[in-house]
Structure 1
Amino acid sequence: MSVHIDSHQHYWRYNNEEFPWITDDIKVIKRDFHANDLKPLLKNHGMYGSIAIQARLTEDENDYLLKMSDECPDVIRGVVGWVDLTKSDVKTSLEKWSKHPKFVGVRHIVQDEPDDNYLLREDFLHGISLLKQFNLTYDILIFHRHLKVAIEFVKKFPDQAFVLDHIAKPDIKNHVMEPWATDIKKLSEYKNLYCKISGMVTEANKDEPYESFVPYLDVIFNSFGVDRIMFGSDWPVCTINMDYSGVHSMIQRYISKYTKEEQDKILGLNAIKFYNIKI
């Protein structure tokens, strides 16, 4: 079955207050992005749809993305939203949002937290412990320096579905492999953890050659195998350094050595299984 799903992109109505990280240096994404903007790109690349990922730390983000998913059901197949997992009444919020059939998971922008051990906070761990009962996944968004903490974090929840975003953002720009590669191998030993081959182009130099990405992809594929890897474009953030076609073509080129069945897993079936998307 060839059903391809892009597992990672974002939408927003741009304003400086809510998106201060979108500076003039990356002004190409300093505007509004809607699912209708992505629709022709998905169609041109044979994609069945996508997973919309939160970009703001507010539950208003959930309303915004879920409303868009209702308006554009052929684009947004699932929404990974945001809930404050540290609050005492987090269960109430999880119960509320999980009732929407498109709300499939939760993410927190851990990479921006000043505490590098944020994943191990007791209140945060309590919130994570509640996700499984609502059949919700969790996207891990960290920098490579957080990997050792992530190993301890994932170890605590053997039955929780986790996915690592953007291969933990290694320093591709400077071609640094260690300790990222060693830590990735250790983290991948936890079989409830998947990995998105996404976000790599924004960790590299603009116009970085294909060959620069291959060693990082090799580590991911050797560690996770084809059953726990999912393609994600990270559109529109990827357009800072590469357009949608470039990102898609890079991954297609790398996985061309695999069988069609294996390619279908990477390009969609793994995401469908992980996020429990109804086809």
Structure 2
Amino acid sequence: MIERIDSHMHIWTLARGDYDWMTPDLGAIHRDYAVDDAWAQASAARVTGTILVQAAATAAETDFLLATAATDERVAGVVGWVDFEAADATIEIERRSDDPRVVGLRPMIADVPDPGWILRRDFVPLLDQMAQCGLVLDGHARADLIPVMTQLADQHPSLQIVLNHAGKPRIDTGDLAQWFADIAALAKRPNVACKFSGLLTEAGHRTSDEAIGEIARHVRNCFGPHRVLWGSDWPVLNLAGSYSGWAAQSERIIDRLFPEHREAVWAGNAKRIYLSKSEF
């Protein structure tokens, strides 16, 4: 049986108070979520482990994720957050990297007004330190930020970057020409991988295997089978579908597009990129 690792899952407790983006108009996801809430569907989909990804720009939320990981063997790693603008950012990156459960960091660049924020000169030592410590940079996604990730990859060729949610292509409108070109350019950088995740929430009514498969095919053609990772983006996924539904659709698409590399997309690539320093 092929092992499966969910490379992109969130959990949150609203009373913690640091999810600034979480408002009541988000309906289905405006509530507390724990790993247990996903696990009946995840287990049925043969998922055996998950990587928790930060959803708040605070150190306290990273501590919350790590506390969960410490007591839950299903959590294989945590992608946390560090304040890059803090005077002690270098110290904090080193401190976080000392914890084997911290496998990466995700600056929330899509929420910063300046699209080129992550390219600031004063961040160069921080990103170099991440590379030296073996921490992955998770690329907080937006379609117009894909070229920024390309510049970042060029500036830091030893830094492993993982683009979240295939860069959030505009599947709903079918306006994909620029995305096709930008993904092709980004994928030429060997230090970049791409998550096959978070697509249903960008799809509107275009959720068919054909529509989602068009995205997956381009990602495969550009990144190849060893730089694509499967993830759920649960519970944000609940805005557009269900864990079981996305897992089943993903299986159909992965079976068709990656018939000889299914294990790599489902788990092998996540283990190599994120979990090489852990004992998972």
Superposition TM-score tier, normalisation by shorter sequence: over 0.9
SS at match of 1:129: helix
After superposition, residues 183-198 of structure 1 pair within 5 angstroms as 183-198=182-197
**How many angstroms apart in 2 are the aligned matches of 1:225 and 1:145?**
22
Deviations along 1:77-96, whole A, 9 cap, x unmatched?
10000011233322211121
Q: Output the CA distance in 2 between the equivalents of 1:172 and 1:20.
A: 26
Determine if contact 1:4/1:49 at 8 Å carries over to the other structure: yes
Query: After the TM superposition, which parts of structure 1 deviate over 4 Å for at least 4 consecutive aligned residues?
Result: 258-261
What is the DSSP-based 3-state SS (H/G/I as helix, E as strand, rest coil) of the residue aligned with 2:6? strand
Q: Secondary structure at the match of 1:256?
A: helix
TM-score (ref. length: structure 2): 0.94
Per-residue deviation, 1:209: 2.3
The structural deviation recorded for 1:97 is 1.5
**1:178 maps to 2:173:** no
Task: Map 1:44-63 onto structure 2 (within 5 A).
Answer: 44-63=44-63
Matched residues, number: 278
**Do the aligned residues in 1 keep the contact of 2:136 with 2:159 (CA within 8 Å)?**
yes
Shift in Å, 1:258:
5.0
Q: Distance in 2 between matches of 1:211 and 1:224?
A: 19
The verdict on how the C-alpha distance between 1:127 and 1:49 changes in structure 2, with shifts beyond 3 A counting, is same
Alpha-carbon shift at residue 16 of structure 1 (Å): 9.2
Amino acid aligned to 2:137: Y
Measured in 2, the distance between the counterparts of 1:136 and 1:142 equals: 18
RMSD (Å) for aligned C-alpha atoms: 1.7
TM-score (norm 1): 0.94
Q: CA deviation at 1:178?
A: 1.6
In structure 2, C-alpha distance between the alignment counterparts of 1:264 and 1:174, rounded to whole Å? 32
Q: Tell me, which stretches of 5 or more residues in structure 1 are unaligned?
A: none
Asked whether the equivalents of residues 8 and 50 of structure 1 are also in contact (C-alpha less than 8 Å), the reply is yes
Residue 56 of structure 1 and its aligned partner are, at CA, apart by 0.6
SS state at 2:50 partner: strand
The answer for the alignment partner of 1:25 in structure 2 is 25
Identity of aligned residues (%): 31
Which structure 2 segments of 5+ residues have no match? Answer: none
The alpha-carbon deviation at position 117 of structure 1 amounts to: 1.0
Q: Tell me: CA distance 1:123–1:86, structure 2 relative to 1, closer, same or farther (3 Å).
A: farther
